[in-house]
Chain A
């Protein structure tokens, strides 16, 4: 078990290191000379040289990377050029809508996707399977902005059940904020349920073909018991992985939906940062988003060890 943990942890660190390098390279490539940008046109050559020295920008690239990494690991992601505050603070402010949205969306996606996937697998080849599979494919073909606009048109504009956009007033109660997230969560939930249906179906089909399912049937157990107690429990592991990773991807990946619905989330922040060339924000957001994904991935792997009695040995 310890060996398992150690190897997984090392792997995670390796990936994080590469992520850091990628983000560093990307932002350096984008911003060119960030100091001139920071100081503006009035800076003299002396000013620039002085600040460069402070930030270590006169040193070779790997050294810059080391400085930068040290800052990052101390929690310093720099300051946003436009928002006039530390990037970490900007991200923290944006965290809530994005996280809430991700959780709500995944809840919807799983609630639709898992049962449909199970039914699809159990009734493989029949019309209901074809229907669900077709719907899943359709779901994977719909652009989120389009679905968002459609839902807004129907439910917000025509019916007036939900706000057209926005996240509620800054002091609004949680209930009101959740209410504002219903439509965007529905968009993301519906679209991601496609993936979960396909995955659940595939995983269940795999398991339903296993020998121990046949053994369970040979004991005279009812089919529902065989499917739900014997098959599903084994099929659940990869399904939970996908669900977990979907959450991770939605943090920062719900860019389009956040924009359509005017939500002050992380994705939206990145888009405006890109349009305004606010490099510290872009850099910080990319780093945090990717790091969260890697960490969630790692946690899921750990969870395997707890859930699946066999993994402890491996």
Chain B
């Protein structure tokens, strides 16, 4: 993590994001979709970026890959240091297009939320996998196709020989997502960005895809930036968690400590929403509530943010000082941070 009084020796992170900000000019004013976001991902680890719709998590990932629509006229600032396979460290946001394209689909891959629309309908599945292989590994047509078949096997699609010549519409959603993973993995990436890869899939398929990703990670040692709003997934598949709200990081921590003792009131609220939770995290001894918990209020419009802390209008722990200024990220424990001035009050007795 960022401030690192950890016991681990300093391993160079695969990706180190510092103070990333993305803003969009709109008719109503400048929208700060992502503001001052910092986090890092160690090699071989999975970091989950968690937040509800509109929290800025997708925009973060698209900004890192520089895949935002040109028409959006995004203003980006900050640094995103990526450690390449060759041992160099490049700033993804500053390198020129050509250098970025050499990394994309190669060392740095992305899979998207909608498998139904993320594949080109007029090209075969094999062609779409082979494309990246031909580009980055310089293989010829037939060698690349063989590679594509191998990838389909790797992502556990049966009858790969036949499938490789099929079109996306002939595959189910789950299989299409596997194809997306195959495309992303074709050139052995060291960092995979997965933007809500299972949100659009059935629950049973979700589990399969997640297991597949886990397996691939174990085999290749790649890092994963996993973007999701599903805390259940986070609990089982992430090593570190970064919680976002209204474009900012509000808490970051390793997964177990986060779930055991969330520091930020928003995180606490998120965990309390899980139907499995019998009581609000951190408030031991309370009786099981009769209703499902929901965080009161709504996310404020990005064009009219609250003065001070963005979560304040919805927070049960808010005090007058919360309205004064946006809180800074404060260390709340080993490799943990939270953006809340009430952290001292929110920290459970057992840290």
Contacts and interface: CB of A to CB of B under 8 A. Distances in A.
Given A211-B114, A218-B67, A309 B121 contact: yes
Interface in B30-81: 65, 67, 69, 71
B121 A313 contact: no
B117 A219 contact: no
Contacts of B121: 212, 234, 308-310
A211 B169 contact: no
A215 B118 contact: yes
A309 B112 contact: no
Nearest to A309: B167
A220 B136 contact: yes
B215 to A, nearest CB: 22
B132 interface: yes
B120 A214 contact: no
A309 B119 CA distance: 14
B106 interface: yes
A217 interface: yes
B122 A308 contact: yes
A261 B132 CA distance: 54
Interface string A214-244: 1111111110000000100110000000000
Interface stretch (B97-105, B143-151, B287-295): B97-105
B197 to A, nearest CB: 13
A125 B69 CA distance: 13
Interface string A176-203: 0000000000000000000000000000
B131 interface: yes
B272 interface: no
B135 A221 contact: yes
A125 B122 CA distance: 28
A124 B114 CA distance: 26
B132 to A, nearest CB: 4
B104 A218 contact: yes
A124 B72 CA distance: 12
Nearest to A308: B122
B112 A211 contact: yes
Contacts of A219: 104-105, 131-132, 135, 183
A210 to B, nearest CB: 7
Interface in A290-314: 308-310, 313
A80 B131 CA distance: 62
Contacts of A211: 112, 114, 117-118
B120 A212 contact: yes
A299 B169 CA distance: 24
A125 B136 CA distance: 32
Interface string A37-57: 000000000000000000000
Contact of B103 (A124, A220, A310): A220
Contacts of A217: 67, 104
B180 interface: yes
A209 interface: yes
Interface in A19-43: none
Interface in A258-272: none
A215 B102 contact: no
Given A234-B121, A309-B169, A220 B67 contact: no
A218 B109 contact: yes
A209 B71 CA distance: 10
B114 A218 contact: no
Contacts of A230: 120, 123
A308 to B, nearest CB: 7
Interface of A: 124-125, 209-212, 214-222, 230, 233-234, 308-310, 313
Interface of B: 65, 67, 69, 71, 100-106, 109-110, 112, 114, 117-123, 131-132, 135-136, 167, 169, 180, 183
19 contacts: A209-B69, A211-B112, A211-B117, A212-B120, A215-B118, A215-B180, A217-B104, A218-B65, A218-B104, A218-B110, A219-B132, A220-B106, A220-B132, A220-B136, A233-B123, A234-B120, A234-B121, A308-B122, A313-B169
Given A220-B100, A233-B120, 14 more contacts: A124-B71, A211-B118, A212-B117, A212-B119, A218-B105, A219-B104, A220-B132, A221-B101, A221-B105, A221-B132, A221-B135, A233-B122, A234-B121, A308-B122
